[in-house]
Amino acid sequence: MSSGETKLPYGTIKGKKLIMHFSAYDIDLPVIAAGIRERMDVLRELGVSFSGFGTEVPKDMTEQNPAVVKAFFEFVGSGSDSDVILKRAYHLIWGGMIEEFPDLLEWAAAKSDLSSLTFAQADVMRARKGD
């Protein structure tokens, strides 16, 4: 760990930037986005701006090694300790994700629907390919 870098369980703070990372196997992008949106007003008050999402796809992606979804934030306020503020933002975002996470039945139904959609898309691709 280099000087000026703070490691968190699911993220890193370097300078005035916070990068949170999530396993695509465990948490879907809509849940992450909902958690950020839930806390966006507080983040603005803290001087933290959301900079976007990114995906890091491993060279050898398997069920045991899924893609990583990253969320990027930057401290844009002034006169405060950015490290302390970004740690607070980190915890606020996790709290927002927990608050917005659907109940078990809704989540299971959504996963089932997504699975059905994925299989249907694969069938269309196979039909186009002529398999």
**What's the CA gap between 24 and 101, in Å, rounded?**
15
Q: What is the pTM of this model?
A: 0.73
**What does the block give as tokens for 105?**
């039945």
Please report the pLDDT score of residue 103 as a whole number.
Answer: 77
Digit-coded pLDDT (tens) for 44-88: 999 999 999 988 777 776 667 778 899 999 999 987 789 999 999
**Residue 30: C-alpha distances to residues 38, 84, 89, 125 (Å):** 12, 27, 19, 25
DSSP class per residue in 27-48: --HHHHHHHHHHHHHHHHHHTE
Domain 5-100: which topology?
GMP Synthetase; Chain A, domain 3 (3.30.300)
Q: Do 11 and 83 contact (CB within 8 A), yes or no?
A: no
Q: In sequence order, which residues have a C-beta less than 8 Å from that of residue 43 and are 6 or more positions away?
A: 36, 49, 50, 73, 89, 92, 93
Residue 77 DSSP SS3: coil
Q: How many CA atoms lie within 13 A of 19 on its CB side?
A: 13
30 or 62, greater pLDDT: 30
**What's the CA gap between 35 and 92, in Å, rounded?**
9
